[in-house]
């Protein structure tokens, strides 16, 4: 029996039937009928209130009388079975997005990455690198994802492991981890651009691309998004160079009839771009206004913002083109000695400050995705070492999370704490999974 807990509501009698219908509809993307039952069981296990969402504890909770058989079935399904992630991810979004859109349109495609701390060196893609979960450099895996968001919900629709360069160069190591031959080294922004290209070819409703400065600070990344004809609001660092309002690169020197006509701009120490920090510090105080963007847990979230029309100026002395005007959005809280955040955006020049701030701040939705995927669903609990298992587990976590999102979309937006659970057989007293410290 599946029951729901939401804002004190009583369990809904049809929720179990909806879960089984959801699992049955999605399982058609798996390619073989013998994968339907392990798919349903794995998703159910991910929704259980089990402390550890690895295969053995889920098997014990689902069928305590035959743990070994269920464990073997689930392990084969997630780590070895040759079903493809992309068709299942498409089936998830085909089911979930119409329900999300019943509360409002798709507003954003949000890019981010997340880290999974790991011991040892054999798990696919693991190396010493920055881990957001720990807030420092450590041994971990990192995955890049794209979520689509409305004002009230969001859903991951693309997910891929980042393969560090030293992994990509070691073909024997890649073969042992099952990394496909076509997977070469790519930076995280390059992975994200590939994901955006693939999503751009789908029927996915368009949204504004959002990303933090780890992505938005790269000129080639912004150029790639413009090439896809997608709008964006992207974080940048304070050192990013821009041309202030009414200022642009000097025209090329005059042609003197010798050699090729010059195309690159003239350089002058008195005519040069400035960092966004310097530009912000030179703005008059009345350029900033207090804008609220949403209601937080205890109060309305607000800060001081300024909007300025600028042109990007990265390596301007090697560019023969004139960059287009963009919005520079600056956040400078009242009690801070300097601005704390900056964004570049190619959104409409007539866009209001309130609307631009609201869109920029919608990136918190992907943080909510990762919080729930990790804390509630067990995204980081997979114990296998291979490429296939890593991505299969993530796709199944997104499937389980998708059911949560779809169910929440049938409630008022304020009822966002929906938690389904299953009544299942009790684990035998004293049972401990292998490797338990107890």
Q: What is the pLDDT of residues 17-71, one digit of tens each?
A: 889 999 999 999 998 888 999 999 999 999 988 888 888 888 888 888 788 899 9
CA distances from 428 to 11, 61, 65 (A): 27, 9, 9
Is the distance from CB of 381 to CB of 369 less than 8 angstroms? no
Q: How far apart are CA 345 and CA 351, in angstroms?
A: 11
The mean pLDDT value for 404-411 works out to 88
pLDDT given for residue 433 in this prediction: 58
CA distances from 92 to 25, 245, 274, 368, 400 (A): 9, 45, 46, 18, 9
The band of 7, judged by pLDDT with boundaries at 50, 70 and 90, is very low
Instruction: Return the ∠ at Cα 399 (arms to 125 and 229), rounded to 5°.
Output: 75
The band of 214, judged by pLDDT with boundaries at 50, 70 and 90, is very high
User: What is the percent of the chain with per-residue pLDDT over 70, rounded to a whole number?
Assistant: 85
CA distances from 393 to 85, 93, 123, 233 (A): 10, 17, 14, 31
Tokens of 35: 């994968």
Number of helical H runs and strand E runs in the chain: 14, 14
What is the secondary structure of 106-162 as a DSSP string?
--EEEEEEEEEE-SSS-STT-EEEEETTTTEEEEEEEEEEEEEE-SS-EEEEEEEE-
Q: How far apart are CA 320 and CA 87, in angstroms?
A: 43
Choice among 27-31, 151-155, 423-427 with the minimum mean pLDDT: 423-427
Is the distance from CB of 399 to CB of 43 less than 8 angstroms? yes
Q: How far apart are CA 207 and CA 214, in angstroms?
A: 20
Q: Of 231, 179, 191, give the one whose Cα is nearest residue 343.
A: 231
Mean of per-residue pLDDT scores for the chain: 88
Is the distance from CB of 334 to CB of 304 less than 8 angstroms? yes
Instruction: Return the ∠ at Cα 236 (arms to 367 and 208), rounded to 5°.
Output: 60
User: What is the percent of the chain with per-residue pLDDT over 90, rounded to a whole number?
Assistant: 64
Q: How far apart are CA 376 and CA 53, in angstroms?
A: 9
- Whole-model pTM: value is 0.89
First and final C-alpha spacing in the chain: 30
Find residue 234's DSSP bridge partners: 211, 344
pLDDT given for residue 421 in this prediction: 60
Cα dihedral across residues 429, 430, 436, 438: positive or negative: positive
In the block, which residue shows the tokens 């821009």?
A: 242
DSSP class of 168: H
Q: How far apart are CA 230 and CA 235, in angstroms?
A: 16
Q: How far apart are CA 170 and CA 340, in angstroms?
A: 40
């Amino acid at each position: 029996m599946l029951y729901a807990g939401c804002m004190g509501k009583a369990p809904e009698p049809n929720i179990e039937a909806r879960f089984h219908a959801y699992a049955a509809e999605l399982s058609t993307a798996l390619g073989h009928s013998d994968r339907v039952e392990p798919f349903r069981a794995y998703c159910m296990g991910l929704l259980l209130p089990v402390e550890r969402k690895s295969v053995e504890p889920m098997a014990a909770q689902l069928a305590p009388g035959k743990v070994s058989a269920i464990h073997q079935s689930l392990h084969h399904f997630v780590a070895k079975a040759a079903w493809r992630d992309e068709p299942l991810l498409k089936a998830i979004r085909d089911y979930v997005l119409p329900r999300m859109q019943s509360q409002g349109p798709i507003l954003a495609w949000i890019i981010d990455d997340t880290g999974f701390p790991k011991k040892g060196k054999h798990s696919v893609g693991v190396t010493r690198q920055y881990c957001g979960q720990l807030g420092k450099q450590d041994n971990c895996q990192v995955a890049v994802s794209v979520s689509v968001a409305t004002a009230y919900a969001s859903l991951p629709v693309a997910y891929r492991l980042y393969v560090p360069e030293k992994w990509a160069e070691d073909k024997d190591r890649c073969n042992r981890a099952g990394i496909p031959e076509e997977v070469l080294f790519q930076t995280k922004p390059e992975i994200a651009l590939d994901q955006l290209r693939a999503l751009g070819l789908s029927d996915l409703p368009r949204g504004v691309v959002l990303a933090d400065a780890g992505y938005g600070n790269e000129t080639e990344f912004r150029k790639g998004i413009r090439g896809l004809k997608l709008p964006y609001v992207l974080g940048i660092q304070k050192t990013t160079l821009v041309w202030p309002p009414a200022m642009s690169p000097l025209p090329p020197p005059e042609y003197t009839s010798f050699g090729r006509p010059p195309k690159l701009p003239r350089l002058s120490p008195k005519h040069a771009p400035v960092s966004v920090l310097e530009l912000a510090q030179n703005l008059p105080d009345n350029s900033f206004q207090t804008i609220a963007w949403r209601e937080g847990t205890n109060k309305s979230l607000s800060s001081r913002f300024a909007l300025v029309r600028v042109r990007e100026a990265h390596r301007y002395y090697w560019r023969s083109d004139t960059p287009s005007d963009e919005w520079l959005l600056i956040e400078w809280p009242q009690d801070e000695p300097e601005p704390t955040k900056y964004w570049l955006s190619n959104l409409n020049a007539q866009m209001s400050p309130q609307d631009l701030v609201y869109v920029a701040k919608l990136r918190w939705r992907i943080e909510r995705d990762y919080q729930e995927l990790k804390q509630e669903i067990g995204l980081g609990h997979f114990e296998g070492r291979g490429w296939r298992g890593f991505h299969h587990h993530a796709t199944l976590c997104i499937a389980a999370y998708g059911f949560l999102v779809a169910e929440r979309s049938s409630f008022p937006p304020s009822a966002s704490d929906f938690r389904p659970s299953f009544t299942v057989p009790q684990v035998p007293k004293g049972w401990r999974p292998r490797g338990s410290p107890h």
